[in-house]
Amino acid sequence: MLNSRKKNQISLFEGVDSVAVIIYFLLVLIGFVNIVSASYNDEIEAFSFAQNYIKQIFWMGAAFSVALIILLLDSRYYHMYAYYAYAGGILLLIAVLLFGREVNGAKAWFEFGSVRIQPVEFAKIATALATARLMSNYSFSIKRLGHLMRVAFIIFLPLAIIILQNDTGSGVVLCSFIFVLYREGLNKWICIPMIIVAVLFICSFLFTPLFLLLLLLIIFTASSAMMIGSWRMHIMFLAAICLSAMLLYGLSMFVFGGTLSGYASLLIMTIVGVVVAAIYAFRKNIAAMFLTLGIFIISVAFVPTADTIFESVLKEHQKVRILSFLGIMSDPSGADYNVNQSKIAIGSGGLFGKGFMEGTQIKYNFVPEKHTDFIFCTVGEEWGFIGSMIVLGLLCALILRLMKMGERQEEPFSRIYSYCVAAILLFHVLVNVGMTVGLMPVMGIPLPFLSYGGSSLVAFTILVFVAIRLDASPRKGLMSAVR
Amino acid sequence: MSGNDTYIRRMILQAIVYGIFAVIALRVGYIQLFDSKYKSLADGNVLRYEVLYAPRGEIIDRNGEYLVQSKECYDLMVTYRDIGKQGFDTVRLCELVGISKEKLLRVLRDARSAPRKATLVAAFVPTEVKVRLDEYNFPGFHSVYRTMRNYPRKIGGNLLGYLEEVNRNDIKEGEGEYKMGDYIGRAGVEAAYEKYLRGDDGVMILEKDAHGAIKGSYMDGMYDTLPVAGKRITCTIDARLQAFAEELMEGLVGAVVAIEPQTGEILVMASSPTFDPDELIGRERGNNYMRLLRNKRNPLFNRAVKAKYPPGSTFKLVQGLIGLQEGVLTPAQAYPCHLGYHVGRISQKCHPHASPLDLRNAVAQSCNAYFCYVFRDIIDNRKYGSVKKGLEVWTDYVKSFGYGRKLDSDFIGEGPGTVPTREFYDKRYRGSWNSLTVLSLSIGQGELGCTPLQMANLAATIANRGYYYIPHIVKAIEGQDSIDRRFYEKQYTKVDSEHFTPIAEGMWRGVNVQGAGTSWRAYVPGLDICGKTGTAQNPHGKDHSTFLSFAPKDNPKIAISVYVEFGGFGATIALPIASLLEEYYLTDTITRPHLIETIKNFPYNPRHYAE
- How large is the average pLDDT for residues B381-404? 92
Q: How many CB pairs under 8 A join A and B?
A: 116
Residues 6+ apart with CB under 8 A from B373: B335, B341
**A239 located within any domain:** no
**B291 located within any domain:** yes
- Rg (alpha carbons) of chain A, rounded to whole number: 25
> What 3-state class would DSSP assign to B477?
strand
The tens digit of pLDDT for each residue in B528-577 reads 999 999 999 888 889 999 999 998 999 999 999 999 999 988 888 999 99
DSSP one-letter code for B174? T
The pLDDT value recorded for residue A328 is 57
Q: Chain B contacts of A389, Cβ < 8 Å?
A: 25, 28-29
Tell me the residues of chain A between 122 and 181 that have a Cβ less than 8 Å away from chain B.
Answer: 179
N- to C-terminal Cα separation, chain A = 11
User: For an interface test with A, which of B1, B2, B13 has the most A Cβ atoms less than 10 Å from its Cβ?
Assistant: B13
User: Which of B152, B171, B205 delimits the end of a domain?
Assistant: B152
Query: Does residue B19 sit at the A interface (CB-CB below 8 Å)?
Result: no
Q: How confident is the model at residue B67 (pLDDT cuts 50, 70, 90)?
A: very high
How far is residue B463's CA from residue B456's CA, in Å, rounded to a whole number? 10
**A464 located within any domain:** yes
How far is residue B186's CA from residue B172's CA, in Å, rounded to a whole number? 16
A205-214, B114-123, B446-455, range with greatest mean pLDDT: B446-455
Which chain B residue has its CA at the smallest distance from A345's CA? B42
Which chain B residue has its CA at the smallest distance from A391's CA? B25
CA distance B25 to chain A (A): 7
**B105 located within any domain:** yes
Query: Does residue B46 sit at the A interface (CB-CB below 8 Å)?
Result: yes
Contact B149, B56 (CB under 8 A): yes
Specify whether B353 is located in the same domain as B471.
yes
Query: Does residue A426 sit at the B interface (CB-CB below 8 Å)?
Result: yes
CA distance B209 to chain A (A): 4
CA distance A375 to chain B (A): 14
Buried b (16+ CB within 10 A) or exposed e, B392-427: ebbbebbebbbbbebbebbbbebbbbbbbbbeebee
How far is residue B333's CA from residue B271's CA, in Å, rounded to a whole number? 39
How far is residue A167's CA from residue A100's CA, in Å, rounded to a whole number? 12
B10–A183 CB contact, under 8 Å: yes
The tens digit of pLDDT for each residue in B272-287 reads 899 988 888 877 888 8
Q: Chain B contacts of A439, Cβ < 8 Å?
A: 23-24, 27
Query: Does residue A191 sit at the B interface (CB-CB below 8 Å)?
Result: no
A289-293, A358-362, B78-82, B359-363, range with greatest mean pLDDT: B359-363
The pLDDT value recorded for residue B13 is 92
Q: How confident is the model at residue B253 (pLDDT cuts 50, 70, 90)?
A: very high
Query: Does residue B383 sit at the A interface (CB-CB below 8 Å)?
Result: no
CA distance B79 to chain A (A): 14
Specify whether B130 is located in the same domain as B257.
no
User: For an interface test with B, which of A43, A339, A348 has the most B Cβ atoms less than 10 Å from its Cβ?
Assistant: A348
Residues 6+ apart with CB under 8 A from A151: A131, A134, A135, A142, A181
B17–A426 CB contact, under 8 Å: yes
Nearest to A35 by CA among A51, A46, A21: A51
Which chain A residue has its CA at the smallest distance from B11's CA? A183
Query: Does residue A387 sit at the B interface (CB-CB below 8 Å)?
Result: no
By Cβ distance, the residue of B14, B24, B42 closest to A344 is B42
Percent over 70 (pLDDT), chain B: 99
Query: Does residue A333 sit at the B interface (CB-CB below 8 Å)?
Result: yes
User: Which of B152, B178, B198 delimits the end of a domain?
Assistant: B152
Query: Does residue A297 sit at the B interface (CB-CB below 8 Å)?
Result: no
Q: What angle do CA B129, B134, B139 make, to 5 degrees?
A: 120
- Structural domain containing residue B141: 73-152
User: Which of B104, B133, B152 delimits the end of a domain?
Assistant: B152
Residues paired with residue B562 on neighbouring β-strands, in sequence order: B256, B547
Q: Chain B contacts of A392, Cβ < 8 Å?
A: 21, 24-25, 28
By Cβ distance, the residue of B9, B31, B115 closest to A437 is B31
**A309 located within any domain:** no
CA distance A352 to chain B (A): 10
B13–A179 CB contact, under 8 Å: yes
A437–B25 CB contact, under 8 Å: no
**A96 located within any domain:** yes
Contact A412, A135 (CB under 8 A): yes
**B3 located within any domain:** no
Considering its fold, how many domains does chain B have in total?
A: 2
How far is residue B147's CA from residue A467's CA, in Å, rounded to a whole number? 72
Q: What angle do CA A436, A442, A445 make, to 5 degrees?
A: 85
**A386 located within any domain:** yes
How far is residue A240's CA from residue A188's CA, in Å, rounded to a whole number? 26
By Cβ distance, the residue of B16, B38, B115 closest to A344 is B38
By Cβ distance, the residue of B21, B45, B207 closest to A396 is B21
Contact A168, A313 (CB under 8 A): no
By Cβ distance, the residue of A407, A430, A437 closest to B10 is A407
Which chain B residue has its CA at the smallest distance from A348's CA? B39
How far is residue A79's CA from residue A476's CA, in Å, rounded to a whole number? 14
The pLDDT value recorded for residue B557 is 94
Percent over 90 (pLDDT), chain B: 47
Contact B400, B452 (CB under 8 A): no
Q: What are phi and psi of B171, to 5 degrees?
A: -65, -40
**A445 located within any domain:** yes
Query: Does residue B37 sit at the A interface (CB-CB below 8 Å)?
Result: yes
Q: Chain B contacts of A385, Cβ < 8 Å?
A: 28-29, 32-33
The pLDDT value recorded for residue A304 is 65
CATH number at residue B116: 3.90.1310.10
Residues 6+ apart with CB under 8 A from A391: A27, A30, A376, A379, A450
- Structural domain containing residue A439: 2-206+315-482
The pLDDT value recorded for residue A428 is 95
State chain B's mean pLDDT as an integer: 89
Q: Chain B contacts of A179, Cβ < 8 Å?
A: 13, 16
Buried b (16+ CB within 10 A) or exposed e, B309-325: bbbbbbbbbbbbbbbbb
The number of C-alpha atoms within 13 Å of B172 and in the hemisphere containing its C-beta is 3
The pLDDT value recorded for residue A124 is 92
Residues 6+ apart with CB under 8 A from B264: B460, B468, B469, B470, B471, B472, B487
The tens digit of pLDDT for each residue in B296-305 reads 899 999 999 9
Q: Which residues of chain A have pLDDT under 70?
A: 1-12, 202-206, 258, 304-318, 321-335, 474-483
Report yes or no on whether pTM surpasses 0.90.
Answer: no
**A259 located within any domain:** no
**B558 located within any domain:** yes
Q: What angle do CA A369, A370, A371 make, to 5 degrees?
A: 95
Nearest to B121 by CA among B130, B111, B135: B111
Residues 6+ apart with CB under 8 A from B256: B245, B248, B249, B268, B269, B270, B272, B304, B452, B560, B561, B562, B563, B577, B578, B581
Specify whether B267 is located in the same domain as B378.
yes
By Cβ distance, the residue of A345, A407, A438 closest to B42 is A345
Most distant CA pair in chain B, distance:
144
Q: Is the pLDDT of residue B412 over 90?
A: no
Residues paired with residue A62 on neighbouring β-strands, in sequence order: none
Query: Does residue A343 sit at the B interface (CB-CB below 8 Å)?
Result: yes
Cis ω before B115 (30° cut-off from 0): no
How far is residue B81's CA from residue B96's CA, in Å, rounded to a whole number? 22
Q: Chain B contacts of A437, Cβ < 8 Å?
A: 24, 27-28, 31
Query: Does residue A350 sit at the B interface (CB-CB below 8 Å)?
Result: yes
The pLDDT value recorded for residue A311 is 65
How far is residue A14's CA from residue B438's CA, in Å, rounded to a whole number? 125
Considering its fold, how many domains does chain A have in total?
A: 1
Question: What is chain B's percent helix, strand, coil content, to nearest 5?
Answer: 40, 20, 40
- How large is the average pLDDT for residues B189-205? 89
A364–B210 CB contact, under 8 Å: yes
How far is residue A338's CA from residue A428's CA, in Å, rounded to a whole number? 18
Specify whether B362 is located in the same domain as B482.
yes
DSSP H or E run through A56: helix A52-72
Return the amino acid letter for B271.
Answer: S
Query: Does residue B38 sit at the A interface (CB-CB below 8 Å)?
Result: yes
Q: How confident is the model at residue B57 (pLDDT cuts 50, 70, 90)?
A: very high
How far is residue B363's CA from residue B393's CA, in Å, rounded to a whole number? 23
Lowest model confidence (mean pLDDT) among B125-134, B172-181, B415-424: B172-181
**A262 located within any domain:** no
Contact B93, B138 (CB under 8 A): yes
CATH number at residue B551: 3.40.710.10
Contact B363, B503 (CB under 8 A): yes
Query: Does residue A334 sit at the B interface (CB-CB below 8 Å)?
Result: no
Q: Chain B contacts of A350, Cβ < 8 Å?
A: 32-33, 39
The pLDDT value recorded for residue A141 is 85
Contact B96, B104 (CB under 8 A): no
The pLDDT value recorded for residue A409 is 86
Which chain A residue has its CA at the smallest distance from B84's CA? A333
How far is residue B583's CA from residue B580's CA, in Å, rounded to a whole number? 5
How far is residue B341's CA from residue B349's CA, in Å, rounded to a whole number? 6
How far is residue B144's CA from residue B445's CA, in Å, rounded to a whole number? 56
